Structure 1
Amino acid sequence: MRLAPRSIRARRTLAVAMSALVTAAVGGSAGCDTVAGGQQLSGRAQLVDDLASRMSSAGSLTYTATYSLPHGTSATIAQAQDPSRVAYTYPGGELVLTPDQTADCRSSGGATTCTLTPPPSPPGNPTSALLSQIGGRGLLAPTVVIDLLSAVAVDGGTVVSQHDTTLSGEHATCLDVTGLSNAPATSFSACVTTEGMLGSFTGTVDGNPIDLTLDDYRPTVALDAFALPGGATIADKRSK
């Protein structure tokens, strides 16, 4: 249930897109802006860029983030470096990405089956189909949030308001977004910690309702964080 952060190239792409943006104040409301193109980079546009950059930078960190989900359930993202690995654990399944394989593990009726396929390219970046599966179980990969922030940056009709909070002892900057077009979500609220962790997210992404909040953050991972579940049936579909 872990989401893998985006590459440095994604940050550069976003920075180029942001260079032509301007934010116009909406109705004189403090803290709210509409992102528009063609003039100078505004403070709000810079804020969106900063949050996306924070999350992209977090791709080089080692950490374990545990999130609370609705109905008393939880999910976890574990990420490590050298080599780059990430594991997303969520109710009913687990997605583990390593340099050797993608392991898609699903549990049903007390039995777990793990399907092994070739590793993603670039490393740590799961396919859209796998990301949709995660979203359907209530977890959101950080790369999806980075894509949404990129969409906010180039959408002239988007309205953004900002506030700060503390989540699991971590300071976080939060955005409330409405009016987003041509993106997996039309509106959402997201918080990003100083370290670049996804602190919280509320919204509907690709038809999947998401409501998660950071419950625990540690700059370490367990020794077995990327191991397949014990007793799982293995279906190896990697080419030999």
Structure 2
Amino acid sequence: MPAASTTLRTLAVSAIALLTVTGCQALDDAGRAMGRADIVNDLAARMDRALELTYSAEYQFGGGQRALITQAQDPARSAYEWPGGKLTVTAEATTHCETTAGRPVCTLEAPPAPNAKPSVVVFAAAEREGLVTPPMVMGLLTSAALDPGAVITQRDSTVAGYLATCVDVRQQDDHFSACVTGEGALGSFTGRVAGEPVELALSQFREQVDGTAFDLPANAGVVDRRPADS
């Protein structure tokens, strides 16, 4: 099983185990616990399947800026582009581009291990940039499902023309909402990331990609830090 699949499934299984371990719960308590576990399982399964897809998803931030997540299979490659930067992972390199000022500068590093999914590598790097990713949202939802004080409300909606399952989560010191489409793409997120308010929503979803999405920005300067034998 791919590493990403294992991670998402572990989150869901952990939620079920912790939420149902107390056999002396009242029936209504057990019902609420199972409802939370069901939500986590459903969304985790969707995002798990989405790691195997080819798609491009364009997002709009609350301030009007845009971001683009692109992933393709055969060969496997992935990219996350946002105002000021771009991360790309292919079989040839892991590339981080800074595009905030003047000429873009891209740093090429070694590609991920052969059994690593490019999308997982991109998402991990994107989170370090303070960006919202599907695994990050999954982690927040799982944490809320394990919090007995959290109030989780589920609803159906439509995002960018696609049916989606949405959850609103209220905890003692936090509140966030997220939607996941039936295809497994992150549909929207409103909440805080590293203490900062973030709002983004899917504006366009396509089940095909433009190959140029994995190219370096035009006229980019290149710093190649890959080992000589990569």
Q: 3-state SS of the aligned residue for 1:42?
A: helix
Pairwise CA distance, 1:190: 0.3
Q: Quick one: structure 1 residues 208 and 84, their matched pair in 2 at CA, closer, same or farther if it must change by over 3 Å?
A: farther
Decide which of 113, 131, 135 is 2:127's aligned counterpart.
Answer: 131
Pairwise CA distance, 1:129: 5.5
Pairwise CA distance, 1:216: 0.5
> 1:72-111 alignment to 2 at 5 Å?
72-111=64-103
Query: 1:133-170, CA deviations, whole angstroms, 9 ceiling, x for partnerless residues?
Result: 1x2xxx41212112222323333332211111111110
Decide which structure has greater helix share.
2
Identity %: 44
Give the counterpart letter for 2:62 in structure 1.
Answer: P
Report the equivalent of 2:139. Answer: 147
Decide which of 9, 14, 31 is 1:12's aligned counterpart.
Answer: 9
TM-score, normalisation: structure 1: 0.81
* Number of matched pairs: 215
Q: Quick one: structure 1 residues 146 and 170, their matched pair in 2 at CA, closer, same or farther if it must change by over 3 Å?
A: same
> Is the contact between residue 10 and residue 56 of structure 1 (CA under 8 Å) also seen in structure 2?
no
> Is the contact between residue 16 and residue 37 of structure 2 (CA under 8 Å) also seen in structure 1?
no
Report the equivalent of 1:28. Answer: none
> Is the contact between residue 102 and residue 119 of structure 1 (CA under 8 Å) also seen in structure 2?
yes
Which residues of structure 1 form unaligned runs of 5+? Answer: 23-35
Are 1:167 and 2:163 an aligned pair?
no
Pairwise CA distance, 1:12: 2.9
Which residues of structure 2 form unaligned runs of 5+? Answer: 24-29
Pairwise CA distance, 1:187: 2.9
Pairwise CA distance, 1:63: 0.3
TM-score, normalisation: structure 2: 0.84
d(CA) in 1 for partners of 2:75, 2:143? 30
Give the counterpart letter for 1:58 in structure 2.
Answer: A
Q: 3-state SS of the aligned residue for 1:20?
A: helix
RMSD: 2.3
Q: 3-state SS of the aligned residue for 2:99?
A: strand
> 1:10-89 alignment to 2 at 5 Å?
10-22=7-19, 38-39=22-23, 42-89=34-81
Pairwise CA distance, 1:6: 7.2
Are 1:238 and 2:230 an aligned pair?
no
Q: 3-state SS of the aligned residue for 1:147?
A: helix
